[in-house]
Structure 1
Amino acid sequence: MSDLIPVSPSRRRLLGLIAVAPVAVVAACSTPIGTLSPEEGVRRLLTLSSQAAFARLIQPGGFYDDQLTRLTVPDAANGRGGAVLAAVLRTDAVQRRIAIAVNDVAVDAADRATPLVMDAISRMTFSDALAILRGGGSPATDLLRRETGGALVDAMFPEISAGLRGDAFEILTAALGARSGFDLGGIATSLSRQASDSIFRAIGREEAAFRADPRRTRDPLLIALLSGGRF
């Protein structure tokens, strides 16, 4: 487990929103059976999967404590700065400190990604929603990732870039920042891409879990659609 860090006010608000949102989805299930379209079914599946993924990721240690989503310190100093980076990271203790700091920054950056993902889901259209529902794996998440493109990377970059200049990274920045040609922005971009990839992997895992056990959705209509039922 990573070192405990306090939950920021903004993250507490976001956790509250995520906690409340599934209630709204389940409440919508009072709709009479027969009125849920496959397209709405995909949207509900993506919403539930994203809510579950972000609820995990934005907890303290949410990225670092999970092998599927853990970010690694990018070797942005490879080449001219490779020897310096190797010296800075020569001990396990330093490596772990920087890795935890990197992942904690990603937790904060996920605050920016969450509303973007939810908004994208609400606006998406599905040309063959039934095929998506009946498929295996995480086809809905794959489609969501294609639809959002690099928007998550762009959304998280400012937060990650600012985080790299924080006190937690004084070892890394002091050792490498003075080197000619060292690009802190390059590391921020790399971490933003990693964080985006981790978010979609987390959403995809939740989608696959809901498909494997539709009853976990607590949505009678979605259960029927995922189980191949007809209305």
Structure 2
Amino acid sequence: MKYIIIPFLLALSACTSTQITQALNEVSKATTTEKALTTAEVGQGLKEALINGISKGADRVSQTDGYFKNPEIKIPFPPDVKKVEDKLRQIGLGNDVDRFIMTLNRGAEEAAKEAKPIFVDAIRQMTIEDAWGILKGEDNAATNYLQRSTSTQLKSKFKPVIQNALDKVGAARYYTDLVNTYNKIPFIEKVNPDLNEYATDLAMKGLFMQIAKEEKNIRQDPVARTTDLLKRVFGQAK
């Protein structure tokens, strides 16, 4: 009974009194007609939910304009060298700056295609104890767990993917050209920031943001639960 009630409680706050009554009836029926969830099933259900969210999130941002036309995660010109962008625009190189920003985001979109299996592998290593903690947590508890437990490892794997993607779409070359142009301007302080580090951090941040949205959606929207196991773990508010 307790394995059925826990996920059921997650949905109560969004329900009307009629919906709550109907949902209580469903739980009552489930106690006699449905086998209680095991801890293994809860763990598997949480992993399914995370993998589902990662797949949707990664697929969304890896499409053309997935980063570039999403104002929440679009990667701008590196802010620590904003003076480079401003100066280049002042001397008539605005189109070159815009092209660089687009290719920078294209690099993140390209890298996102390769990132999904890295995240999925990390989720599959999640323990049962982790799963229970996530089930009882906030709407983004699973995403926070993933960031907390895998970010260091993921970054080490993600960074070369970003570098290859930036090289593939020409962002690194455009950036080098822009910085070299800026550094040739008389009486300015030369710059040479790490573009790969910057792009990696923002690309990962954007991806986690999309994953968090999908996790919240699965927790709150019964329609988003695409398998029987997910429906059992998270419960239904009909």
Q: Same fold (TM over 0.5)?
A: yes
Contact 2:56 2:214 in 1 (8 A): yes
Number of residue pairs aligned between Structure 1 and Structure 2: 193
Contact 1:121 1:144 in 2 (8 A): yes
Which SS does the other structure have where 2:216 is aligned?
Answer: helix
- Is 1:197 equivalent to 2:197 in the alignment? no
Question: Deviation digits for residues 124-160 of structure 1, max 9, x if unmatched?
Answer: 1142533422433210111011111223332232243
Deviation >6 Å, runs of 4+: none
TM-score, normalised by the number of residues in structure 2: 0.69
In the TM superposition, residue 167 of structure 1 has moved relative to its aligned partner by 4.0
1:176 to 179, 195, 214: 179
Question: Deviation digits for residues 110-131 of structure 1, max 9, x if unmatched?
Answer: 2332211011111111425334
Same amino acid, percent of matched pairs: 23
In the TM superposition, residue 187 of structure 1 has moved relative to its aligned partner by 1.8
Contact 2:77 2:85 in 1 (8 A): no
Letter in structure 2 aligned against 1:183 = N
Moved more, 202-211 or 85-94: 85-94
Greater relative contact order structure (CA < 8 Å, 6+ sep): 2
- Is 1:43 equivalent to 2:58 in the alignment? no
In the TM superposition, residue 33 of structure 1 has moved relative to its aligned partner by 5.6
- Is 1:157 equivalent to 2:163 in the alignment? no
Report the counterpart of residue 86 of structure 1 in structure 2. 86
Unaligned runs of 5+ in 1: 1-31
Letter in structure 1 aligned against 2:120 = M
Unaligned runs of 5+ in 2: 1-33, 184-188
Question: Deviation digits for residues 179-224 of structure 1, max 9, x if unmatched?
Answer: 386335x121011011111111111111111111032122122123
Question: Deviation digits for residues 62-104 of structure 1, max 9, x if unmatched?
Answer: 11122222212213436xxx3x432224576444322211110
Give runs of aligned pairs for residues 1-150 of structure 1, distance below 5 A: 34=36, 37-77=41-81, 82=83, 84-90=84-90, 93-150=95-152
Report the counterpart of residue 4 of structure 1 in structure 2. none
Instruction: Decide which structure has greater helix share.
Output: 2
- Cα distance in 2, alignment partners of residues 183 and 135 from structure 1: 43
RMSD over aligned CA atoms reads 2.8
For the structure 1 residues 85 and 95, does the alpha-carbon distance in structure 2 shift closer, same or farther, using more than 3 Å as the test? closer
- Cα distance in 2, alignment partners of residues 129 and 162 from structure 1: 34
TM-score, normalised by the number of residues in structure 1: 0.71
- Greater Rg by CA: 2
